[in-house]
Amino acid sequence: MIPRIVYAAWCGPEPLPTKDCFFDSWRKILPGYDIHLLGDKDIPETPCTKAALERGKIVTAAQYACWKRLYETGGIYLDLDMDILRSLDDLLTLDAFLGIEFDRPAHIWAACGIIGAKPGHPFIRECLDYMDGFDHTHPKVENELGPRMFTKLLADKGWKRKNADATVAGVTLLNSKRFYPYSWEETFTPECVTPETYAVHRWAYTWKPKTSVVIPCHNDAKYLPEAIESVLAQTEPALEIIVVDDGSTDDTAKVAKRYPVTLLRQKNKGVSAARNAGIKRAKGPGIVCLDADDRLHPEFIKTLAGLDDIASCDLRAFGERTVKWAPPMQAPKLAHITERNMLLSGSWFRRQFWEQVGGYDETMRDGYEDWDFWVRCMAAGASAWVKHDELMEYRTYPKTATRHRNSFANADHAALTAKMRAKWRTLGITKPLPPLHYPVRISVPITVNGTVYPAGSRVEHDVALAAKRTGQLMDPRIA
């Protein structure tokens, strides 16, 4: 029997948030429950919490504290953004329970926004031991000790990762309608609530990294206001805007000073050096490098921040030509990126990978510096995801204009790629893709002979080959 005890936590110097925090409402919905909000003083000293606090991972330490209490006394753990709609009493007869969430096509997870367990449940003990033994230098430690941990441990015990009620090793997994009726990539609507819904996880995004936007600018004063204003118009505000005047001879500095930005000035060293200078000054763990003549859609940061280590999107060109461009793969791997750049230069990325690879190559002043940067980041372990929404606005110029823009079109393609590939070989970046085993899962929707295959579908070789011949799939292993 699970006791009527609720644990939640809020640690660190920041005050308890008022938006999307439902702690106060739980007492009305759950009368008779003993509700505890743990703080800094309640975090026990264990290998996990010590390592987490040393690295500033307060959320990990706070969750450990709650889950340890859950093991000792039994009860229910709740994220503060879990909106309880009705009594949980009929779940108390279970030995343990948690919910299933989904995000991308076929991405099914054992989630940890709500966990119930009787005292001394062995699965909770296993989770605590896993956290204590985990390597906290892992670049994605907070992700690995959340839903990924629960999913891994339950999958090892036989869970099939389906969005359906199941019981595995004394843990009851409840389908997404119960607690996670919409994914963190979607917007809540009342229609997502059904008679099966006990609670709604409102995705307060307290885990999302703050974003610093770096705008290198060389003689683009006339376009700079549009770039800055597009960042100021974000529905999820940037932590800061840093404009790097890369030796401009126009009014770049004067224009930048009209806005609430940090202005850095340097002799002309090229876009790589300007980006590096801005990122070095930046405070945010998330970075966007926006060219001074381009613009961000108002939903850019809200949609892409934290989506993956590198998060890109579709592009809408404006100016001389009004065209659209979509990266051909939704989840490109290292081998794909070494063959062809599929990520926008203005993609969102985690600063830690910039630090890990030593930043942009400042010797590359003729283009493709963004392509080279993405390859080195992915070789260092970064993963990438493309959101197929037009969130980047890319300025185009007359053919007579001579401007370096990005790595998608460059007259010196052969020479530049040869130089890059030689460097990659010296860095050991020659990882091949593993062989395909059919049926394979596709990451983008395709249409073959009139049949539509949604993203996440599994297709046989003949379908994949037909899609490649029509340009819908790009994987070089499909042959």
pLDDT band (50, 70, 90) for residue 316: very high
Query: Looking at the structure, do residues 446 and 386 belong to the same domain, yes or no?
Result: no
Which residue type is seen at 15?
A: P
Q: Is residue 206 part of a domain?
A: no
Model pLDDT for residues 72-121, shown as the tens digit of each residue:
999 999 999 999 999 999 999 999 999 999 876 558 999 999 999 999 99
Asked if residue 130 and residue 192 are part of one domain, the reply reads yes
- 126 within some domain: yes
Co-location of 100 and 230 in the same domain: no
Is the CB of residue 246 less than 8 Å from the CB of residue 272? no
- Domain membership of residue 141 (yes or no) is yes
Mean pLDDT computed over 151-164:
95
pTM of the model: 0.70
What distance in Å separates the CA atoms of residue 401 and residue 187, rounded to the nearest whole number?
42
Q: What is the CATH number of the domain that holds 295?
A: 3.90.550.10
**What pLDDT does residue 206 have?**
64
Whether residues 319 and 347 fall in one domain: yes
Do 361 and 303 share a structural domain?
A: yes
Q: Characterize 129-149 residue by residue with b for buried, 16 or more Cβ atoms within 10 angstroms of its Cβ, and e for exposed.
A: ebbeebebeeeebbebbbbeb
d(CA 253, CA 241): 14
142 and 187 share a domain?
Answer: yes
Higher pLDDT, 24 or 361: 361
| Amino acid occupying residue 308 | D
Of 288 and 324, more confident: 288
229 shares a domain with 186: no
- Helix, strand or coil, per DSSP, at residue 43: coil
Could you tell me the residue range of the domain that residue 281 belongs to?
Answer: 211-426
Give me the amino acid identity at 394.
Y
Residue-by-residue DSSP string for 15-35:
PPPSTT--HHHHHHHSTT-EE
Same domain as 308, residue 219 = yes
On whether residue 56 sits in a domain, the answer given is yes
Please check whether residues 225 and 197 belong to one and the same domain: no
Strand locations in 79-130 (E): 82-84, 96-102, 108-117
Is residue 392 assigned to a domain? yes
Q: Are residues 77 and 151 in the same domain?
A: yes
State the Cα–Cα distance between residues 409 and 351, nearest whole angstrom: 26
CATH number where 167 lies: 3.90.550
The torsion angles phi and psi of 366, rounded to 5 degrees, stand at -110, 15
Question: Do 171 and 155 share a structural domain?
Answer: yes
Above 50 in pLDDT, residue 388? yes
| The two three-digit tokens of residue 435, written as one number | 């062989």
Q: 294 pLDDT exceeds 50?
A: yes
Counting the structural domains of the chain, the total is 3
Helices (H), ranges, 191-299: 224-232, 252-256, 271-281
Dihedral over Cα of 278, 224, 303, 471: its sign? negative
Mind giving me the DSSP string for 283-318?
A: --SEEEE--TT-EE-TTHHHHHTTSSSEEEEEEEEE
Q: Are residues 57 and 120 in the same domain?
A: yes
For residue 211, is pLDDT > 90? yes
State the average pLDDT for the chain.
91
Angstrom distances, CA of residue 263 to CA of 150, 216, 277: 45, 10, 11
Model confidence at 411: pLDDT above 60: no
Element (H, E) at 123: helix 122-133
